[in-house]
Amino acid sequence: MSNISEAEIFPVLKGKVAIITGAAQGMGRGTAEVFLKAGAKVVICDIKEKEGKEAAAELSRFGDIIFVRTDISKSADVKNLIEETVAKFGKLDAAVNNAALTPDKTPLTEFDEDYWDKLTSINLTGTALCCKYEMQQMLKQGGKGTIVNIGSINSFRPQPNMPAYTACKHALIGLTKHAATEGGPHGIRINAIAPGAIYTEMSATALKSMGVTEEEFTRSASLLNRFGMPHEVAQGSLWLCSDASSFVTGVISKMGSTQTSTFSVPRVHEGKLAVVTGSSRSIGAAIVRNLASKGCNIIVNHATAASDQLASDLCQELEKNHKVRTAWVRADISKREDCAKIIETAKARFTDPKTGKLQIDILIHNAAIAYVGPLEGVVEDEFQKIYAVNVLGPILLTTACVPYLPTDRSGRIVMMSSINAKVGTPNTTLYAGTKAALEAMARVWCRELAERATVNSINPGPVMTDMYLSASDEIKKLLALWNPVTPLAPVRPSDSPEVREIGERIGGRAAYDHEIAGLVAMLCSPEAGWCTGSLISANGGLSFSY
């Protein structure tokens, strides 16, 4: 853990009385220490009596503090906490509702009702009871006071397999906002803090149950790539309980989050795994960037040693920019043993440590080779090679992945076809034939795999990859034959100077790789669950999807 020095604390709570729940350890204890140093008289509570008394004894060197054993899920205990506070110190000015149970690690489809009830009774009902009786006391005193509820990054960004914890932390945000509307007219301010990765005994226990290291977790949980410390969260609570925040209420403050705004892009694939073939560069790289931006873990596949560095660099980029887990595998998917190597890599890197199971949620068949030439120029070796990579490869890899696909229809398989199969571009006998085969396979597989995954195809036309941009004008003009009847081909002022120059010369532009990646992502989204066996046109309107 990084040694983060504590900020200087000024006596901004001098003369005030504060309750801090769940303060026998972790963030609660850290908050109690900061509040004492800021001049407050502090009452800490916890269900752990021995640890709570020890904490109060150790913290007493900083100021006046008492411990009251409290089970916040019980009204009588919370009422007693308030009464003990007033009996000892005469009033209540501030409260930090921090008590909570450790996150669960159970899928919604397998949750235990008793555990759900126990967790919600503390993490939600308990916090509501604290707000109820704290506000009642503040009203008895004539109004005014501050309350801080401690939420979680789960309040905004659910983590896998934490349904009860996530539901409570989402609800806590609504509770805070409602409480602020009731308290506002009486000068009672209620706010919440949603910490990200904070290093406490609770977080250490949660990491162990999740089977991930600190380094792996913080890459996906904090823009700062480290755990926060309890005293850092305490500083947020200190500010919200001080007069410096006197015009702040109903606010949810994120601390250490991967999100910079409540309105950030939803990560609809959080925790999922995608295998994308031919993805070290070009369209494949654009696809994995799109999926990773939505929270998807990625296996980058390529076929040659020359692409090893590109694949490695891309994985590092995805992990840094999107806080996902990645792996790259050099494998020729036209060989059964190489497909097995992809699965072995997936097992080693992405098997759920609790269930011991691997799930592959998304499979994108993007890898392909092309031979261009007239019919009479076709040779047998080229035929065998292109059909092995473009057709047999997807068959072998899908076969290898089938045992690991979801069983609830949430899986997604996308086949990268081509406009050539539909419009019959001259000199593409071999290439167009393989792409037509992919479309036919998608229609068959969508029936065979219906309970596991949707299977669709898209058919891009020319795409502005490095290969396209470096091609001769002769090739570009051949690919531009249908630009006059392609609605989206005309260039626009918003296009780059290079694209405008090419487009004006040959009568229209090709697609950007991110436009193709966007269509793939659309088919991979939960919203596309009723679309299968379809060919989605991805060519600017040159052909239509029917």
- 32 with 104, same domain: the answer is yes
User: Is 212 part of a structural domain of the chain?
Assistant: no
Supply the pTM of this predicted model.
Answer: 0.59
Using CA atoms, how far apart are residues 356 and 348, in angstroms rounded to an integer? 11
391 and 499 part of one domain? no
If asked whether residues 149 and 172 sit together in one domain, one would say yes
502 and 526 fall within a common domain: no
Strand pairing class (535-538; 145-150): unpaired
Task: Please name the residues in contact with 143: beta carbons below 8 A apart, sequence gap of 6 or more.
Answer: 186, 187, 188
Q: Are residues 246 and 334 in the same domain?
A: no
Q: Is residue 214 part of a domain?
A: no
**Distance (Å, whole) CA 52 – CA 44:** 8
Q: What does the radius of gyration of the chain's CA atoms come to, in whole angstroms?
A: 29
Q: Phi, psi at residue 210, to the nearest 5°?
A: -80, -20
CA-based nearest residue to 319, from 346, 342, 289: 289
What backbone torsions phi and psi does residue 303 show, to the nearest 5 degrees? -105, -20
The domain spanning residue 315 has which CATH number?
3.40.50.720
Whether residue 322 sits in one domain with residue 234: no
Considering the domain architecture, whether residues 499 and 528 belong to the same structural domain is answered as no
Helix, strand or coil, per DSSP, at residue 162: coil
Domain containing residue 481:
464-510
The predicted structure's pLDDT at residue 104? 67
In a domain? residue 123: yes
- What is the CB neighbour count within 10 angstroms for residue 279? 29
CA dist 266 → 164, 269, 276 (Å): 20, 9, 21
* CA atoms of 173 and 299, how far apart (whole Å): 36
Give bridge partners of residue 253 from the DSSP assignment. 193
What does the buried/exposed string (b/e) look like for 93-122 if buried means 16 or more CB atoms within 10 Å of the residue's CB?
bbbbbbbbbbbbbbeeeeeeeeebeebbbb
Question: Are residues 66 and 156 both part of a single domain?
Answer: yes
Q: Are residues 154 and 277 in the same domain?
A: no
d(CA 436, CA 211): 44
- The residues, any chain, with a CB within 8 Å of residue 285's CB and separated by 6 or more, are 279, 314, 513
Does 160 map to a domain? yes
Are residues 28 and 20 in contact, defined by beta-carbon separation less than 8 angstroms? yes
**Residue written as tokens 């630009």?**
483
- pLDDT in 10s for each residue of the chain, 546 residues: 456 667 788 899 999 999 999 999 888 999 999 999 999 999 999 999 999 999 999 999 999 999 999 999 999 999 999 999 999 999 999 999 999 987 667 788 888 888 889 999 999 999 999 999 999 999 999 999 999 999 887 777 776 778 888 899 999 999 999 999 999 999 999 999 988 766 666 666 666 665 666 666 655 555 666 677 777 888 889 999 999 999 999 998 877 655 444 434 458 898 899 999 999 999 999 999 999 999 999 999 999 999 999 999 999 999 998 889 999 999 999 999 999 999 999 999 999 887 899 999 999 999 999 888 889 999 999 999 999 999 999 999 999 999 999 999 999 999 999 888 888 888 889 999 999 999 999 999 999 999 999 999 999 988 887 767 777 777 777 778 878 888 888 888 888 888 888 888 888 888 889 899 999 999 999 989 999 999 988 888 877 765
Q: Are residues 345 and 373 in the same domain?
A: yes
Judge whether 3 lies within some domain: no
- The predicted structure's pLDDT at residue 261: 42
Domain count, the chain: 3
Q: Which two tokens stand for residue 111?
A: 């949750």
Distance from C-alpha of 281 to C-alpha of 284, rounded to nearest angstrom: 6
Q: Are residues 285 and 168 in the same domain?
A: no
Whether residue 211 is contained in a domain is answered as: no
- Of 403, 298, 379, nearest to 346 by C-alpha is 298
Distance linking the first and last C-alpha atoms of the chain: 57
pLDDT in the model for residue 263: 37
Asked if residue 428 lies in contact with residue 420, where contact means CB atoms within 8 angstroms, the answer is: yes
In a domain, 201, yes or no: no
Distance CA 147, CA 18 (A): 9
Active-site residues, by number, are 417-418, 431, 435
Sign of the CA dihedral running 527, 533, 539, 544? negative
Is 353 found in the same domain as 308? yes
Q: Does 265 fall in a domain?
A: no
CA angle 152-410-104, nearest 5°? 30
Distances in Å between the alpha carbon of 75 and those of 87, 89, 107, 133? 18, 21, 30, 9
